[in-house]
Structure 1
Amino acid sequence: MLSYKIFITFLIIFLAYVYKKYQINEDDISSTDPSKVINAWHKIIKDPEHKFTKVAVGINACVDLIADAVSVLKVMSVEPGGQQDHDILSSLEDLQESFHHHFAAGAAAERYFSERDVFNAIVQHAADLYGAQFSIGGNAALMTQKMAQSFPDLKYGVGARWGDTVAPVATRFITSHDVANSKASSLEYFFKAVSDYQPDLVVLSGLHMLEGQPANLWQERLKLTRDRLTLIDQQTPVHLELASMINEELMRMIASQASDDDVGFCFPFICDFC
């Protein structure tokens, strides 16, 4: 508990330092103008002083199916209705409510779809649309050939309309029924590869996908992650990449693992929400 408080305190101090040093304009960060947001982040994001030559990236990889969001919903006869975010999607109604919630806010999101048949129907309708494209997705793209899952990547532009709702920014809504990635099944293989490869930077992604699984699996996979991270050279930075998340309990568990007494700050811990 003490180390967790230290972690939170450190984070608050760091954010205050960054804010003062770079004088980030709050209006820019909260702006719906993408150029202002990008310019604000450019003030604090700099190239690393040390150039990494050996980078290990894992663990989630997929095949994205990119299609126009509003067109997909229309062809499936999904009309605008209520707005409510869901941890896990299990029906078209859940999809409608969660998508509408994020569409109205112009916020990117990624949610696990638990019902395989409904999910497959969404994929089929999206794939049949004119202009739909398949592309490699996920940070561990080289694993895609062995873990070929299609993720509907529902994109929309600024000003896109769905019923009476207008999107304030251009972004996307991703849903998936990817059992392997949602269980972080490749963690053991990834850390074995890290041990053999001896990279000078480790990028770990995909833990956010655990949201689609029960809490006991979260604990198991996060404990494995913590234990394996302690075996990495303390001088090797570790970047943790997290996408859109809704489950606060899982987020707290990930943060507590990063500040666990057995791990401490033996590795640089960077959390990036995309």
Structure 2
Amino acid sequence: MAGVPVKCGTIVSFCFVLYAVYYRKNDLGDVRLSPVKDHLLYLESENKVGEGKLQPKVALGYGACHDLFVNATSLLDHKELKGNPEHFNEISNKEEFLKSFAYFFKHGAAAERFVSNGKLYDELIEQALKLPDSRWSIGGNAPLMAKRFYIEGWKVLFAAKMSNKLKKYIPKDIQIVGGEENEEVRDDVHMILEYKTDETFGTLKAPRANRYIVHNDENNPLLSSLEKFDEHLPGFGPNLLVISGLQMMDNYPFKVGDGKDLRAERLDLVKKQILSQPLSTLTHFEMASYVDLELLKHLTTKILPFVDSVGMNEQELTNLYSVLEYGEVSVVADSNPRVATALDQMRKTFLLIRRQNELYESKRQLTRIHVHTLAYQAIMTVKNSNWKRTEAAAAKASLTAHRYVCNSQDIALEKCKLLLDDSFSTTTDNDNTSRVFFEPTKPVSCWDEEINGENVDICVAPVLICTEAQLTAGAGDNISAAGLVLQVEK
């Protein structure tokens, strides 16, 4: 199997080093690109989604919105930034908005924040609409993941309360539930401030392309489609249930009174919905950008103990691990972490959620974690679980990352680059010197491990990074969905 860890200092590792040197860059560019692309495409072509009676079904919740895309540095004037970049849990004025954006911009980190000042938010939307390159699209984890599952051949049900105008973005074969027939719906609007690698904001330079999202939602935080979704789930009979969009509850001003906590009550209903599914229906939780510690703690007790799978990016992984281990929020992390660092956090997060499985006497156990970063995809699955084809899933996620960000189905090598080194450590543990040597002709590295008595498979796939980014918002949703499409078989 490609990329099996070996101990440094062996003859085998020496041979791999020579092999890697052969594939390093020459004057014509990175000669690894072509064989990497070819093998990723081979894995994709050899692994198909079932058809006919074998077509898998996915149900996704919750919510949808209109996304207004705008170039961040065209909208914002760096001269208005007073003082140093700073993190805020929510945005209440223009100064906080600029400082918050600058904070994540300089780290190249994705972020999503609630704007509590409705007047400010309306003014920002009005300014954005005046820019010639602003554009509208559908947004929200559930609809973007739903569209990806549909494109890849799944039968799809998703829950959102949407206007007829917004529904036009969704393929007609996708079943949408959530609102009443002929109900007038005012769609929530999210503003997506995008920026490219090396773009500048005053003296700040972005280390990678990414996006900063703000919203002033009224509909999505209440999970208003949940009850209708509940009515349709039994008849639909999904093979996979995806829980997403819960970050819309982050710092939303829920009314608390008479001893009631509306947010906790809504999350209890999500938990009930998960528990109502047969164990044969796999469940996946899509992590997102959270800063509200109370909400995160709710997730660790009401959601995470009862799902089979979790998907997230490198920022969200660090945050989730920090909350589970230390009870603290991690606002920003390395935007391009070492493979060893991410794998260590995945192992620790796996054990911490497994502990929650036991604590809350869950009939489900966490058996899958998918982490997507700029440079690589890492998927961990428990051996003999219901998750299939981990190697192909990592390859599929990698290809989708490039295609989505470049906004093209074709993969042009002149628009690709690799950040993954010729070899990487499998852990930061100094007592463990095992390394994986990157083979361009077999680029997806997979190996077995034992984690606290549980045998797992780990696969790491390099990403052919798009050097001419067209889209950033929604990339994670498409990548996570792509990683799932081959792992569930009816």
- What TM-score do you get using the length of structure 1 for normalisation? 0.75
**Conservation of the 8 A alpha-carbon contact between 1:239 and 1:269:** no
AA aligned to 1:230 is L
Structure-2 change in CA distance of 1:166 and 1:80 (3 Å): farther
How far off is 1:160 after superposition?
Answer: 0.9
Q: Deviations over 1:102-156 (max 9, x none)?
A: 0011000011111111101111111110110101111333744245222110000
**Is residue 65 of structure 2 the alignment partner of residue 62 of structure 1?**
yes
Task: Give 1:52-131 correspondences, 5 Å limit.
Answer: 53-74=56-77, 78-79=80-81, 81-131=83-133
Alignment of 1:105-254 (within 5 A): 105-141=107-143, 143=160, 144-145=162-163, 146=185, 148-213=187-252, 214=254, 216-254=261-299
* Matches of 2:369 and 2:97, distance apart in 1: 27
In 2: Cα distance, 1:191 partner to 1:230 partner: 12
2:362 is the counterpart of 1:264? yes
Structure 1 residue 265, shift from structure 2 partner: 3.9
Cα distance in 2, alignment partners of residues 246 and 22 from structure 1: 36
Work out whether residues 187 and 219 of structure 2, in 8 Å CA contact, stay in contact via their aligned partners in 1. no
Residues 170, 101 of structure 1: alpha-carbon distance in 2 compared, 3 angstrom cutoff: same
Q: CA deviation at 1:56?
A: 0.9
- Distance (Å, rounded) in 1 between the aligned partners of 2:364 and 2:112: 31
Do the aligned partners of residues 70 and 88 (structure 1) sit closer, same or farther apart at CA in structure 2, a change above 3 Å counting?
same
Aligned length: 236
Displacement of 1:79? 2.7
AA in 2 matched with 1:210: M
Between 1:98-107 and 1:213-222, the stretch displaced more is 213-222
Q: Deviations over 1:171-207 (max 9, x none)?
A: 0000001111122222222222223321111111111
Q: TM-score, normalised by structure 2?
A: 0.44
In structure 2, relative to structure 1, the CA distance for the partners of 1:129 and 1:81 (3 Å cut) is farther
Residue by residue over 1:45-73, the C-alpha shift from the partner in whole angstroms, topping out at 9 and shown as x without a partner, is x9899856211111021110000011111
Shift of 1:268: 5.2
In 1, the alpha carbon distance for the partners of 2:295 and 2:367 equals 17
Distance 1:99 1:172 in 2: 9
Paired residue type of 1:229: I
CA change 1:265–1:86 in 2 (3 A) is farther
Please state whether the residue corresponding to 2:98 is helix, strand or coil. helix
Instruction: State how far apart, in whole Å, the 2-side matches of 1:64 and 1:107 are.
Output: 19
Q: From the two aligned structures, give the one with the greater helix fraction.
A: 1
- Aligned residue for 2:273, secondary structure, equals helix
Q: Structure 1: give runs of 5+ residues left out of the alignment.
A: 1-19, 24-38
1:242 maps to amino acid: M
Q: Give the greater-gyration-radius structure (CA).
A: 2
Cα separation, partners in 2 of 1:149 and 1:160, compared to 1, 3 Å = same
